[in-house]
């Protein structure tokens, strides 16, 4: 899932400042899972913004709606019915969602309420951790299901570095050394020999360097009769 | 509090608090009139920060929660969750310039749990020092029953 | 003639030292350090923005050292440069007459004075070793395209016998050797027992015959320094007994004690099979290197 956190409310208020009729749009997917932009959070933010406006004596219309997803055109299009009533949208989608909505309604300012962060897992209730960088060439097989690009601070493919101590990363004692984790994991199913080989330089072009990435699947495209 | 000053407390309380059944609630509402609005919930674990925010937005100068004592929640950790959520509501309102004390949670005493009437009085005394909320205008205060 | 390579080739105990470039454009600072080390060591490592603190480039400082008659060891970290820049710098260094190169990961950028910098890490240190070896031995860059002239290089890597996971350290050393390391300089040694254990494991794997290991040493200036190294520096093992030894001596005499410990460590290293030299990292204390080399019985140098 994609994780995000809400921007400080002062920043949000400054961005929506010039607008008189704001639609606050939440998203029921990833950002709901990380409690940043789901229906509850959207309701809370809208309520707080209304209260703040009232305290300043400002007349502003602030209403909210939550979509299942903001990153899929077929869901965003549901806003067609109501969008004309507003002069700005405050989106609690991730960066992808904000842009998808902006793409759909290019004349309307679409303002992000969240700071999108990383691809990760819900490790525990209230704890989300980064574990994938979207490199486009997954090597998790070799490393026992632990990604050294996402979880080693230096993205070493032939780690660990000299700073690994007591299984902790040199940059932060709260961070486990990913290579310690990989070694421990591979040891469990007797595959430590996978680390004897030298992993060659990564083809980073699969991740960046050819512009924003795209996937096209003709078998998935709409059929024009 | 003078008669002229209007201050409304929204009180969300766990239905397992002693002496909090319907007749007792009605008696309290009659005694305090517009100053107190009571909302029973099956467990404070069901409370969402949004309930407190909406209360403050619509009609309440303060929104509090009365919970069962720690460790005595019928559903185990409902009251502990409620405390965290009250904290979230407090963070959000203080970020927009409202006093954090407009929300809060009071837990009943372990061993010698008090009835709702006593706890309600305690909370009202606690919020007595707060000014009427800058969010509510005359129109809000003249409204009928809140949503 | 590359003194370090020759000394090791002839089975003599090698001596290298370290020099940190200044935080400014003052070449004079480098030349002053060169003067302290001339004649005392076979080669001088120049660090590459160590601790991710911006300093004069290693390449720049190495060139100055070379002009002062010393043999530099160009340290190159993969933290700041992508594969294009790394290979390019190697060619540039070689054209300037630099032969010794040390391929390193580098301290993480969050430690230094530019914590918002992107950490490049396009290659890791082992991949970098492979690339450099192919440049020298096959005359090609990564991908196989031929160079107009292959660089002549003596390739080094760093090793930390004290980092975790301990058992894996020797596998990592083996990988560095397979990748192309001719020599290895270790993290500074205070825990000789643990170092000996690591040497035993390396010897068991036949690694000591395939690479020249130089044991790292750093003279302690004070008990305070010992404690800082123990607690604040990643990958360091400073036994409590050593700290107590430093503390048992009055502050004015602690520097002398530190040098004594350093010399004793070198003497132990001289006797250890598989250890082919010492790497003296007297950070901001370069003036003591000559004395240490002398007292360890390593003067005069054989060239």
CA-CA distance, B7 to C289, in Å (whole number)? 79
CB atoms within 10 A of CB A24: 28
CA-CA distance, B128 to B124, in Å (whole number)? 6
In this prediction, residue B144 carries a pLDDT of 53
Judged by CB atoms closer than 8 Å, whether chains meet at B95 and A40 is answered as no
In this complex, how many residue pairs, one in chain A and one in chain B, have their CB atoms less than 8 Å apart? 48
- Could you tell me which chain C residue has the CA closest to the CA of A159? C172
In this prediction, residue A134 carries a pLDDT of 96
Judged by CB atoms closer than 8 Å, whether chains meet at A156 and C131 is answered as no
Candidate from B49, B50, B98 with C-beta closest to A51: B98
CA-CA distance, A74 to A100, in Å (whole number)? 11
Chosen CATH of A2-118 out of 3.40.50.2300, 3.30.70.580, 3.40.50.300, 3.30.470.10 = 3.40.50.2300
Write the CA distances from A2 to A9, A33, A137, B30, C259, integer angstroms.
21, 9, 19, 51, 55
Residue B1 has pLDDT above 50, yes or no: no
Report the percentage of chain B scoring pLDDT > 70: 93
* Residue-level length of chain A: 225
In this prediction, residue B5 carries a pLDDT of 63
CB C181 within 8 A of CB C211: yes
By a Cβ cutoff of 8 Å, what residues of chain C touch chain A? 79, 83, 105-108, 110-111, 119, 121-127, 130-131, 142, 158-160, 163-165, 168, 171-172, 174-175, 178-179, 187, 234-235
Cα dihedral value A159, A164, A169, A174, nearest 10:
140
Write the CA distances from C281 to A192, B136, C186, C272, C288, integer angstroms.
34, 70, 11, 20, 10
- Residue identified by tokens 């400073």 is C238
**Helices H / strands E in chain A, number of each:** 7, 9
CB C18 within 8 A of CB C283: yes
In this complex, how many residue pairs, one in chain A and one in chain C, have their CB atoms less than 8 Å apart? 95
Q: How confident is the model at residue B147 (pLDDT cuts 50, 70, 90)?
A: low
Contacts (Cβ under 8 Å, ≥6 apart) of C268: C192
In this prediction, residue C75 carries a pLDDT of 98
Judged by CB atoms closer than 8 Å, whether chains meet at B50 and A8 is answered as no
Judged by CB atoms closer than 8 Å, whether chains meet at A161 and C125 is answered as yes
Mean of the per-residue pLDDT values of chain A: 95
Nearest of C90, C7, C99, C24 to residue C298 by alpha carbon: C7
> What is the ipTM, given to two decimal places?
0.90
Shortest alpha-carbon distance between residue A120 and chain B (Å) = 24
- Could you tell me which chain A residue has the CA closest to the CA of B97? A52
**Tokens encoding A57:** 């004596």
Contacts (Cβ under 8 Å, ≥6 apart) of B69: B79, B107, B108, B109, B110, B111, B113
- Could you tell me which chain A residue has the CA closest to the CA of C176? A198
| Three-state secondary structure of A100-128 | HHHHHCCCCCEEECEEEEEEEEEEECCEE
The alpha carbon of C176 is separated from its chain's Cα centroid by a whole number of angstroms, namely 15
Nearest of B20, B7, B29 to residue B127 by alpha carbon: B7
Q: How confident is the model at residue B143 (pLDDT cuts 50, 70, 90)?
A: low
Handedness of CA A45, A47, A52, A58 (dihedral sign): positive
Write the CA distances from C231 to A173, C187, C227, integer angstroms.
12, 15, 6
Which residues of chain A have a CB within 8 Å of the CB of B135? 51, 54-55
Which residues of chain C have a CB within 8 Å of the CB of A167? 164-165
Q: Which stretch of A44-48, B3-7, B76-80, C287-291 has the lowest confidence by average pLDDT?
A: B3-7
Contacts (Cβ under 8 Å, ≥6 apart) of A167: A176, A177, A180, A181, C164, C165
Judged by CB atoms closer than 8 Å, whether chains meet at A171 and C131 is answered as no
- Burial (Cβ within 10 Å: 0-12, 13-18, ≥19) of residue A170: buried
> Kind and range of the H or E element at A61?
strand A61-67
Shortest alpha-carbon distance between residue B37 and chain A (Å) = 20
* Phi, psi torsion values for A173, nearest 5 degrees: -65, -15
CB C4 within 8 A of CB C71: yes
Q: How confident is the model at residue B114 (pLDDT cuts 50, 70, 90)?
A: very high
Which residues of chain B have a CB within 8 Å of the CB of A8? 95
**Tokens encoding B44:** 């404070």
Residue B133 is given by DSSP the state: P
* Residue of C86, C117, C127 for testing the chain A interface, max A β-carbons within 10 Å: C127
Judged by CB atoms closer than 8 Å, whether chains meet at A154 and C130 is answered as no
pTM metric for this prediction: 0.90
Report the percentage of chain B scoring pLDDT > 90: 69
Which residues of chain A have a CB within 8 Å of the CB of B57? 47, 50-51, 54
> Kind and range of the H or E element at C129?
helix C125-137
Which residues of chain B have a CB within 8 Å of the CB of A52? 96-97
CA-CA distance, B100 to B133, in Å (whole number)? 12
SS3 helix, strand, coil % of chain A, rounded to 5?
A: 35, 25, 45
Q: How confident is the model at residue A101 (pLDDT cuts 50, 70, 90)?
A: very high
- Could you tell me which chain B residue has the CA closest to the CA of A43? B50
Shortest alpha-carbon distance between residue B80 and chain A (Å) = 15
CB A147 within 8 A of CB A132: yes
Which residues of chain A have a CB within 8 Å of the CB of C160? 162-163
Contacts (Cβ under 8 Å, ≥6 apart) of C42: C3, C4, C7, C14, C15, C16, C71, C277, C301, C303
List, in order of start, the domains of chain C with CATH numbers.
3-292 (3.20.20.220)
CB atoms within 10 A of CB C201: 17
Name the neighbours of A, counting chains with at least 3 Cβ pairs within 8 A: B, C
- Residue identified by tokens 């301990």 is C166
Domain spanning B9-130, CATH architecture: 3-Layer(aba) Sandwich (3.40)
Domain limits of chain B? 9-130
Shortest alpha-carbon distance between residue A156 and chain C (Å) = 5
**Tokens encoding C176:** 């560095």
Shortest alpha-carbon distance between residue A40 and chain B (Å) = 7
CA-CA distance, C216 to C213, in Å (whole number)? 9
In this prediction, residue C235 carries a pLDDT of 74
Judged by CB atoms closer than 8 Å, whether chains meet at C122 and A161 is answered as no
Judged by CB atoms closer than 8 Å, whether chains meet at C130 and A164 is answered as no
Judged by CB atoms closer than 8 Å, whether chains meet at A201 and C131 is answered as yes
Judged by CB atoms closer than 8 Å, whether chains meet at A201 and C119 is answered as no
**In tens digits, what is the pLDDT along chain C, a chain of 303 residues?**
799 999 999 999 999 999 999 999 999 999 999 999 999 999 999 999 999 999 999 999 999 999 999 999 999 999 999 999 999 999 999 999 999 999 999 999 999 999 999 999 999 999 999 999 999 999 999 999 999 999 999 999 999 998 777 778 888 999 999 999 999 999 999 999 999 999 999 999 999 999 999 999 999 999 999 999 888 877 788 999 999 999 999 999 999 999 999 999 999 999 999 999 999 999 889 899 999 999 999 999 998
Q: How confident is the model at residue B3 (pLDDT cuts 50, 70, 90)?
A: very low
| Residues A53-100 pLDDT 10s | 999 999 999 999 999 999 999 999 999 999 999 999 999 999 999 999
Q: Do chains C and B touch (3 or more CB pairs under 8 A)?
A: no
The runs of H, that is alpha helices, within chain B are: 22-32, 49-58, 78-95, 116-127, 138-142
């Amino acid at each position: 899932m994609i994780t995000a956190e809400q921007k400080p409310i002062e920043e949000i208020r400054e961005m929506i400042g010039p607008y008189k009729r704001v639609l606050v749009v939440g998203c029921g997917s990833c950002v709901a899972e990380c409690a940043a932009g789901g229906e509850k959070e959207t309701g809370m933010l809208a309520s707080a913004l209304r209260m703040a406006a009232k305290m300043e004596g400002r007349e502003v219309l602030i209403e909210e709606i939550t979509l299942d997803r903001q990153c899929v055109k077929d869901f965003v299009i549901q806003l067609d019915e109501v969008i004309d009533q507003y002069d700005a949208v405050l989106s609690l989608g991730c960066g992808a969602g904000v842009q998808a909505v902006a793409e759909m309604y290019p004349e309307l300012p679409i303002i992000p309420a969240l700071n999108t962060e990383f691809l990760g897992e819900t490790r525990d209730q209230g704890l989300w951790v980064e574990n994938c960088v979207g490199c486009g060439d997954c090597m998790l097989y070799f490393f026992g299901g632990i990604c050294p690009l996402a979880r080693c601070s230096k993205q070493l493919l032939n780690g660990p570095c000299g700073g690994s101590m007591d299984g902790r990363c040199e940059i932060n004692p709260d961070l486990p050394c990913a290579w310690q984790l990989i070694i421990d994991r591979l040891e469990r199913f007797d595959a430590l020999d996978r680390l004897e080989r030298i992993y060659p330089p990564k083809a980073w072009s699969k991740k960046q360097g050819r512009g924003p990435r795209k996937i096209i699947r003709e078998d998935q495209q709409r059929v024009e009769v | 509090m003078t008669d002229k000053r209007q201050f409304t407390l929204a009180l969300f309380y766990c239905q397992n608090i002693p002496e909090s059944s319907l007749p007792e609630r009605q008696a309290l509402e009659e005694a305090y009139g517009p100053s107190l609005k009571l909302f029973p919930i099956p467990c404070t674990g069901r409370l969402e920060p949004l309930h407190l925010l909406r209360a403050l937005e619509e009609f309440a100068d303060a929104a509090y929660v009365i919970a069962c004592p720690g460790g005595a929640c019928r559903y185990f950790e409902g009251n502990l969750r409620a405390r965290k959520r009250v904290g979230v509501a407090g963070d959000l309102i203080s970020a927009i310039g409202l006093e954090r004390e407009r929300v809060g949670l009071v837990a009943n005493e372990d061993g010698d749990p008090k009835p709702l009437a006593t706890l309600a009085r305690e909370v009202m005394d606690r919020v007595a020092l707060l000014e009427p909320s800058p969010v509510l205008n005359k129109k809000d205060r003249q409204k009928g029953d809140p949503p | 003639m590359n003194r370090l390579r020759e000394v090791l080739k002839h089975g003599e105990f090698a001596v290298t030292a370290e020099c940190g470039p200044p935080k400014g454009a003052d070449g004079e600072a480098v030349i002053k350090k060169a003067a302290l080390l001339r004649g005392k060591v076979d080669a001088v490592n120049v660090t590459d923005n160590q601790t991710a603190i911006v300093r004069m480039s290693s390449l720049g400082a190495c060139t100055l050292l070379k002009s002062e008659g010393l043999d530099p060891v160009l340290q190159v970290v993969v933290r700041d440069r992508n594969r294009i820049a790394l290979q390019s710098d190697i060619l540039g260094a070689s054209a300037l007459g630099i032969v010794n190169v040390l391929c390193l990961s580098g301290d993480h950028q969050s430690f230094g004075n530019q914590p918002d910098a992107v950490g490049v890490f396009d290659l890791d240190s082992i991949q970098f070793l492979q690339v450099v070896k192919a440049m020298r031995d096959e005359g090609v860059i990564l991908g196989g395209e031929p160079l107009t002239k292959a660089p002549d290089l003596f390739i080094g890597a760093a090793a930390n016998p004290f980092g975790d996971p301990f058992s894996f350290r020797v596998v990592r050393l083996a990988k560095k050797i397979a990748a192309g390391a001719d020599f290895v300089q270790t993290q500074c040694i205070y825990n000789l027992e643990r170092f000996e254990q690591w040497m035993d494991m390396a010897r068991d794997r036949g690694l000591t015959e395939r690479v020249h290991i130089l044991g790292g040493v750093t003279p302690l200036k004070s008990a305070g320094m010992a404690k800082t190294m123990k607690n604040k520096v990643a990958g360091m093992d400073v036994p409590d007994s050593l700290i107590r030894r430093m503390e048992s001596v009055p502050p004015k005499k602690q520097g002398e004690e530190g040098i004594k410990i350093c010399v004793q460590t070198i003497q132990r290293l001289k006797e250890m099979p598989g250890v082919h030299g010492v790497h003296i990292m007297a950070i901001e204390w370069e003036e003591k290197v000559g004395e240490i080399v002398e007292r360890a019985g390593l003067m005069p140098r054989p060239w």
